[in-house]
Amino acid sequence: MDRAKKPAAIPVSPIQPTPQVSISDDNSRVTANIPTGQHVDILLYGATVVSWKSANGKENLFLSSKAHLDGSKPVRGGIPLVFPLFGPPTPNHPTDKLPQHGFARTSRWEYLGKSSSESSTLPNSKGDASVKLDFGLSNSMLSDSKWDYDFNLTYSVTLSQDSLETSLVVRNTGTSNYDFHVLFHSYLAVDDINDTTVSGLEKAAFKDKMQGGKEVGPAGKPISIESETDRIYTTAPEQTIKVLEKGKDRYELTRDMLSDVVVWNPWIEKAKGMADFGPENGYKKMLCVEAGSVSAWNTLEAGDTWEGGQRIKAL
């Protein structure tokens, strides 16, 4: 028997899409997708970001076709994390027994979990705008780091609609002060290196490794890559760096607590000499623009914390 007056139906809010995070069956990588279509893929080996795609499927990072993704060697491409040493070992320094670029990129990290921004309450919202993935590494996780200090690292990768952020928190959990370098070794994908320029460093002096580390004054113009290039620019962290293709903005780099920018491209001969670099003309498809703090040592006192990061915006 029908009731004359039925209670009104309780409105049900539509379920908003949320970021999707998955771990591979072999527990070797973490993948995240956000509702607007962007994607990021991170190996637990080195906590290395190996893919970052925009909503249209365009890949923003260069990954060598010969890169080792099985944990046997550092990954050639993506965003390797350099810590606590940039470059080859420094003689008569606590880092002198470490491999080139330190141990962070060759250590297995722990996936600590995810967090995401709150869903918008506005009509036609596409759901959460970003997702942050956290990874951890400490001295207790290393069998032989050849670096006798206590530390705890938290590395965060945040994927949003138009950008990728990477940040590192370094905690000195021991009783001794120590020095360190840090660098996000970003391999940016470009269509053609011959059409690519870098702006924002026109007024910055740099160390030119192609001239034995010689100090060179500001060039006063955007950077074009016409041969093997390996430079360390020092500029204020608030200075925005842009990568352009055919004069149009392609990437925008902003930094926090990172006063150095490394610009690197191996060009023809060096690329041929690297067994894990491919394809043969891959140097035309990449440009490393690397935010870091490497021109001088950062000293972290016992019990203190350091934090820095970068944001790469795909334009």
Query: Residue 93 catalytic?
Result: no
Please tell me the number of Cα atoms within 13 Å of 43 on its side-chain side: 26
Extract the tokens encoding 265: 């491209």
Can you name the residues that pair with 113 across neighbouring β-strands? 134
Please tell me the number of Cα atoms within 13 Å of 149 on its side-chain side: 23
Contact of 204 with 235, CB cutoff 8 Å: yes
Query: Residue 238 catalytic?
Result: no
d(CA 289, CA 142): 29
Extract the tokens encoding 142: 């290393």
Question: Among all chains, which residue has been given the structure tokens 């000499």?
Answer: 273
Extract the tokens encoding 14: 């539509």
Which alpha helices (DSSP H) does 18-88 contain, by range? none
In one-letter notation, the amino acid at residue 132 is: K
Question: Among all chains, which residue has been given the structure tokens 């740099």?
Answer: 206
Catalytically annotated residue among 215, 290, 301, 307: 290
Burial of residue 71 (number of CB atoms within 10 Å: 0-12, 13-18, 19+): middle
Extract the tokens encoding 81: 């994390």
Catalytically annotated residue among 165, 181, 185, 252: 185
Extract the tokens encoding 209: 């490794």
d(CA 308, CA 295): 15
d(CA 230, CA 206): 10
CA distance to 17, 53, 78, 106, 252, per residue, from 33 (Å): 11, 9, 17, 25, 22
d(CA 266, CA 248): 24
The catalytic residue positions are 185, 290
